[in-house]
Amino acid sequence: MYIIVIGGGKIGYYLSRTLLSEGHEVLVIEKDQAKCQHISDELGSICIRGDGCEATTLAEAGMGRANMLIAVTPEDEDNLVSCQMAKQKFNVPMTIARLNNPKNRPIFKKLGIDVAVSSIDLILEHIEEEVPTHPLTHLLSLKDGEQEIVEVKVPPTSPVVGKRLKDIPLPRDSFLSLIIGKEKGAQLPTPNTIIEPDDRLIAVTRPELEGELMAKISGS
Amino acid sequence: MKLVIMGCGRVGAQLAKLMDEEGHNVTILDVDSYSFRRLPSDFGGRELLGDGADEDTLRRAGIEEADAFVAVTQGDNRNVMAAQIAKHIFNVPKVVCRIYDPLREELYETLGLDAISPTKVFAQLLKERLES
């Protein structure tokens, strides 16, 4: 694939190095002369100096034949504009943006950026996974972002312990898809399944309902 | 009307002054409180310190009830992003932004953004002046 990377800082540099080693054709666009020189010295002449939001620079970089654009500068507005330029002016099929402020996810999505990656969100997800006391873990955000798969651990003190599933009212649009018990292992939930302490429930829900779901299951 | 202006440079401050004088409800945003010195001492609107490309700041500025939003910071991309947030997330009825780069302005015009390129406008004015 021909991949254009906007921003030659640390992320741009290591990303390009990895993509090159995977056999892709890579071009980096970077404003700063010193960073540009560093990339050329280390990785060969794959860096051009310029503004990755300017149509003339992008045209010069061969944006018209690029399969993918990845914008990883430390400024969200620059990443957004680079991606929009690529998408709208050059019809690049895939645009990926680094999100510095995770709150900008909705606007990036609305404006047609294919993938927005937030390192803050990724770190938070790992904290949730690694810290065992956290009662709810995000496992996967489904593609449209309106639904997600989460894991909730049932504390021994929860009011749902010992109850049958059919007697536990879940929030709307929330479903249990799997129950993983300490001894019984993974099983598909049925209306008569009885919840035991320390069961891990894998559920599909909506982001705005996760608090309600957690309250229902953990009893807090 | 209720107007939110992002960027209290010369243009932002001048626009704020004009709209305030006509009795409109004006809120002006800037990331540097020193910029507010450009407003006249009898400015009746609200000055708010913060980044207008940030949704929370826009909410504090009252974007949800605003009739119009103007983005006139020094950064084209910052203006473009804030204007798109105002238009697509907060559905502000009238959104105008400044884009210095004429090519970028053309692109965003085709994407439905109301944008003005001072570069283009001023070059045209100069050309007309030279030819007259």
Q: Residue A36 to residues A13, A21, A32, A50, A159: CA-CA distances in angstroms?
A: 10, 19, 6, 9, 60
pTM of the model: 0.78
- For A196, phi then psi, to 5°, come to -115, 160
Instruction: Give yes or no for residue A134 having a pLDDT over 80.
Output: no
Q: Residue B57 to residues B4, B51, B74: CA-CA distances in angstroms?
A: 11, 6, 18
* pLDDT confidence of residue A132: 62
* pLDDT per position as a tens digit, A163-195: 998 888 888 889 899 999 888 889 999 999 999
Mean of the per-residue pLDDT values of chain A: 90
- ipTM confidence: 0.89
> Quick one: A115 and A214 in the same domain?
no
Test mutation, A63, A81, A103, chain B, max B CBs within 10 A: A81
Confidence class for position A16, pLDDT limits 50, 70, 90: very high
Instruction: Return the beta strands (E) in B80-128 as ranges.
Output: 94-98, 114-116
> Quick one: A95 and A153 in the same domain?
no
Label residue B112 exposed, middle or buried (CB < 10 Å: 0-12, 13-18, 19+). Answer: exposed
* pLDDT confidence of residue A142: 82
Q: Containing domain of residue A43, as a range? A: 2-119
CB contact under 8 A, B75 and A77: yes
Residue A127 in domain = no
Test mutation, B56, B57, B92, B103, chain A, max A CBs within 10 A: B103
* pLDDT confidence of residue B116: 97
* Position with higher pLDDT, A209 vs A14: A14
> Quick one: A53 and A23 in the same domain?
yes
How many Å apart are CA A127 and CA B7, to the nearest integer?
38
| Three-point CA angle B54, B58, B62, nearest 5° | 170
Residue A111 in domain = yes
CB contact under 8 A, B75 and A103: no
Residue A197 in domain = yes
Per CB-CB distance under 8 Å, the chain B contacts of A101 are 54
Domain count, chain A: 2
CATH of the domain at B37: 3.40.50.720
Instruction: Give yes or no for residue A149 having a pLDDT over 70.
Output: yes
Bridge partners of residue A117, in order along the sequence: A98
Q: Which of residues 9-68 of B touch A (CB under 8 A)?
A: 53-56
Instruction: Give yes or no for residue A146 having a pLDDT over 90.
Output: no
Q: Containing domain of residue B70, as a range? A: 2-131
Q: Which two tokens stand for residue A64?
A: 């018209």
Residues 6 or more apart whose CB falls under 8 angstroms from that of B71 comprise B6, B7, B52, B78, B79, B80, B82, B83, B86, B95, B96, B97, B98
CB contact under 8 A, B104 and A54: yes
> Quick one: A18 and A88 in the same domain?
yes
> Quick one: A21 and A112 in the same domain?
yes
Q: A90: which DSSP letter?
A: H
Q: Is B77 on the interface with A (CB under 8 A)?
A: yes
CB contact under 8 A, B107 and A75: no
Per CB-CB distance under 8 Å, the chain B contacts of A108 are none
> Quick one: A23 and A115 in the same domain?
yes
> Quick one: A114 and A16 in the same domain?
yes
- CB A145, CB A118: distance < 8 Å: no
- For A203, phi then psi, to 5°, come to -130, 150
Q: Which two tokens stand for residue A168?
A: 């536990």
Q: Within A24-65, where are the H helices?
A: 33-43, 55-60
Domain count, chain B: 1
* Position with higher pLDDT, A145 vs A215: A215
Test mutation, A57, A100, A105, A107, chain B, max B CBs within 10 A: A107
Q: What is the mean pLDDT of residues A47-70?
A: 94
> Quick one: A97 and A138 in the same domain?
no
> Quick one: A109 and A13 in the same domain?
yes
Q: How do the pLDDT tens digits run along chain B, 132 residues long?
A: 999 999 999 999 999 999 999 999 999 999 999 999 999 999 999 999 999 889 999 999 999 999 999 999 999 999 999 999 999 999 999 999 999 999 999 999 999 999 999 999 999 999 999 998
CATH of the domain at A49: 3.40.50.720
How many Å apart are CA B59 and CA A162, to the nearest integer?
46
* pLDDT confidence of residue A188: 92
Q: Which of A72, A90, A119 is the last residue of a domain?
A: A119
- For A66, phi then psi, to 5°, come to -75, 140
Q: Which of A87, A119, A151 is the last residue of a domain?
A: A119
Which residue has 């606007």 as its token pair? A107
> Quick one: A13 and A89 in the same domain?
yes
How many Å apart are CA A204 and CA A178, to the nearest integer?
10
> Quick one: A24 and A113 in the same domain?
yes
Residue A172 in domain = yes
> Quick one: A110 and A149 in the same domain?
no
Residue A126 in domain = no
Q: Which of A119, A154, A172 is the last residue of a domain?
A: A119
How many Å apart are CA B32 and CA B22, to the nearest integer?
26
Confidence class for position A212, pLDDT limits 50, 70, 90: confident
Query: E strand or H helix at B59, and its extent?
Result: helix B55-60
Which residue has 């609107």 as its token pair? B45
* pLDDT confidence of residue A211: 85
Per CB-CB distance under 8 Å, the chain A contacts of B101 are 53-54
